[in-house]
Amino acid sequence: MDIEILKNLVDYGVIFLLIFMSFISFYFFIERIIFYKKIDLKSFKNKKAFDIALTKHLTVIGTIASNSPYIGLLGTVLAIMLTFITMGNGDIDAAKIMSSLALALKATAIGLVVAIMSQIFYNILGRYAETLESLYETEEV
Residue 81 lies in a domain: yes
Residue 1 lies in a domain: no
Task: State whether residue 22 is helix, strand or coil.
Answer: helix
Residue 83 lies in a domain: yes
What is the domain extent for residue 20? 7-140
**pLDDT at position 73, please?**
93
How many domains, in total, are found in the chain? Answer: 1
Contacts for 128-131: CB closer than 8 Å, 24+ residues apart: 128/32, 128/33, 128/36, 129/36, 129/54, 129/55, 129/58
Residue 2 lies in a domain: no
Residue 77 lies in a domain: yes
**pLDDT at position 1, please?**
59
**pLDDT at position 127, please?**
96
Mean pLDDT by groups of 10 residues along the chain of 141 residues:
75 91 97 94 88 93 96 90 82 76 87 97 96 86 50
Tell me the whole-structure pTM to 2 decimals.
0.85
